[in-house]
Amino acid sequence: MNRKLTTLAAALLLTAPTLTSMAQTTGNPFLQPYDTKYEIPPYEKIKTSDFIPAIKAGTEELKANIERITANKAMPDFDNTILPLENVSPILERVASVFYHYDSALSTDEFAAMAEEAIPLLNAASNELNLNQALFDRIRTVYDNRDKMKLNPLQKRLVEKYYRQFAEQGAALSPEKKAELVKVNNELAKLFIAYNKNLLNATNSFFVTVYDKADLAGLPESSIAQAAEDAKARGLDGLWVFTLHAPSRLPVLQNAENRGLREAIYKGYTNLASYGENSNYPVIEKIVKLRAEKAKIMGFDNFAQMMTSRVMAKTPEAAESLLMQVFEPAVARSHEEVADMQAYVDAEGGGFKIAPWDYYYYAGKVKKQKFDLDESDVRPYFSLENVLNGLFGAAERLYGIKMVEMPDAPKYMDEVTVYDVVDAKTGEHISVFMTDFFPRASKRQGAWMEQLQSAGLYGDGTTKRPIVYNVGNFTRPAGDTPALLTIDEVETTFHEFGHALQGMLSTAPYKSLAGTNVDRDYVEMSSQMNEHFAFTPELLKTYAKHYKTGETIPDELIEKLNKASKFNQGFTTTELAGAALLDLAWGKTDGNGIDVEGFEADFTKKIGMPDEITYRYRSPYFKHIFGDDGYASGYYTYLWSQVLEADAWELFEKNGIFDKKTAESYKKNILQSGDTEDAMVLFERFRGHKPDPHALLRLRGFEK
């Protein structure tokens, strides 16, 4: 998921009349509350030229309202200091939520050019809020006296969260240190822009052209059709073009019999943004040095120490300890997987040693051999429409919500679908949910969830419900064939919807405590938990229908899917845990005298990464950690959260996956609660005990 706006947390309690007047004269849609149903952004009215004026107006609004808070002569308390911070600039909240969404999903050339000016302005606005000494003094006063004030538990938690977040952003620093921090933050903001621009350009500029149809042997017809369409779009009629976008790349790696084609795509991807004018190596070097400098300013030994201190792990060593408990058995299992694949190659008289570009392909062959399961056997049952039917059906059975399409709702692309999420019994509005599932040149790779509007109390005294979206990059429909998802893509769809559920169902009264505004190493629990439902027999039978015949997926195919569920977990876990360890290693170095490419290569040898496996993301395209600070020194949280969800899932398995009592407890304690209580308290209330790390090893098949 994306998490770009946490400390600019909200919108304003007192709106300046001059700004309302400006909105009326300019027609800029960001400068006034949206007049659409549920306040969905009026996309058809939004122009690229609206962003900069709105950010500037929002910054002025922010300054004016900070001044109102700090000029108040009354003793600082919850109502005159903390509550206004929940709504400190509605203009900035509106424009920033759309801006960051477009920056990932609709970054046209015009938008990207504008973003280079916008991001420093947004960064400056963040500094204006987070580093204001007078404001922090008032927050600290409320914090110091919180036990003497008549605060309810949620108000007290909100006070503590604001104090902690402001301190973490540098509010407690001396004026000199604050000036240094602002300088570093501004430089980092520029580098993030450069990194993301290089990555997008490198991704869009690379493609492999196939001239002989014989070289397409093994590929599914849908992939061949898409490659033909991509070639035609480039003026290469009659040829086939493959790109680095997942719907094009993965079918080649998984299915292409031509080893040279697999190698070309694999090397193109793993060398992404590693050379030429789009190389991210120089950018990474500067980011690492600046992060080390930032950590020193904040009083930490290194960046990893600073980032882990803010979440459940507390130290990089604790995070590394967990990772190594998983990484080592995963590597051992991967060696077994490679041996199986090598035996297959040798039996076929291949005459070569398994290489990284062979892994997906021969894993599929061994899977077929061991379980008589081929991706092409199941993919026809996973049309996107059917998968969404299963996804929404499960949510209705488990949590009592219904998805009602809103065909006339505003949308930024025709292929976006908007839903009104309602209570299945009463019809009461719960949330707005949007989906955007197909790749385009202006969209970054991957899949994510974010929200355009948070649940909680707003400045006009109303409590609003969230607007949440899921974005993906799945294979487009081609000809008469609908969008057919791979097994991984089905999991991804359920994963991101798990995030969406936590955002949509939140009942927290304050925005900063609502939805996914929880610790980084807890936020992935709900998403990974939701993956488990995808392939349960009970649910599969409701949605997995053959797109041609309408036939329900047969029992024998379901049995094969479940028997194969722990297959290739050595590879999957090794590439993930390896990337997480690499991320922490970057956070522990000061970057001085470092050779970026050599650093990664040396670390690969140090941890014993198998030759046949590459990190899930190599440094030049590891956008999670170098595209912004979102998951920097925090990528490990995916595995940390998997310990929680693996243990939680065992309770569903024990009681029945649609057990009403279990689902109600999960909804109440996990999905609805947000950050209203400590994550460990909420987990223990649901599960009945502290998380068991061995649950993850059992889930992955590394122990029984």
Residues 296-341 pLDDT 10s: 999 999 999 999 988 877 899 999 998 998 999 999 999 999 999 9
On the question of a common fold for 17-172 and 381-555+640-699, the answer reads: yes
Average pLDDT over residues 488-513: 97
pLDDT at 125 over 50: yes
pLDDT for 342: 97
Selection from 72, 542, 570 nearest residue 338 by Cα: 570
Rounded to 5 degrees, φ, ψ at 19 are: -75, -35
pLDDT for 13: 28
pLDDT for 26: 62
Beta bridge mates, 417: 435
Compute the mean pLDDT over every residue in the chain, rounded to the nearest whole number.
92
Q: Where are the domains of the chain?
A: 17-172, 206-272, 277-373+569-635, 381-555+640-699
Q: Which two tokens stand for residue 97?
A: 């939520």
> For 256-289, how does the pLDDT look when each residue is reduced to its tens digit (9 = 90+)?
999 999 999 999 999 999 999 999 999 999 999 9
- Spatial distance between the Cα atoms of 66 and 125, rounded to a whole number of angstroms: 11
pLDDT for 522: 87
pLDDT at 15 over 80: no
Domain 277-373+569-635 = CATH 1.10.1370.10: yes
Whether 263 is catalytic: no
Correct CATH for 381-555+640-699 of 3.40.50.300, 1.10.1370.40, 3.30.310.50, 2.60.120.620: 1.10.1370.40
The b-or-e profile of 106-138 (16+ CB within 10 A means b, else e) is bbeeebbebbeebbbbbbebbbbbbbbeebbeb
Of the pLDDT bands very low, low, confident and very high (cuts 50, 70, 90), residue 5 is: very low
Selection from 464, 603, 449, 617 nearest residue 523 by Cα: 449
Of the pLDDT bands very low, low, confident and very high (cuts 50, 70, 90), residue 692 is: confident
Q: Which two tokens stand for residue 12?
A: 């304003």
Cβ partners under 8 Å of residue 643, min gap 6: 322, 691, 692, 693, 695, 696
Average pLDDT over residues 539-563: 95
Q: Are 576 and 609 in contact (CB under 8 A)?
A: no
Cβ-based burial of 685 (10 A; exposed 0-12, middle 13-18, buried ≥19) = middle
> For 503-539, how does the pLDDT look when each residue is reduced to its tens digit (9 = 90+)?
999 999 999 999 999 987 788 999 999 999 999 999 9
Q: Does residue 515 come out as left (phi exceeding 0), alpha (psi in the -120 to 50 range) or beta?
A: left
Q: Are 39 and 464 in contact (CB under 8 A)?
A: yes
Q: Are 94 and 55 in contact (CB under 8 A)?
A: no
pLDDT for 589: 95
> For 232-243, how does the pLDDT look when each residue is reduced to its tens digit (9 = 90+)?
999 999 999 999
496, 524, 600, 645: the active-site residue: 496
pLDDT at 493 over 50: yes
| pTM, entire model | 0.84
CATH topology of domain 17-172: Neurolysin; domain 3 (1.10.1370)
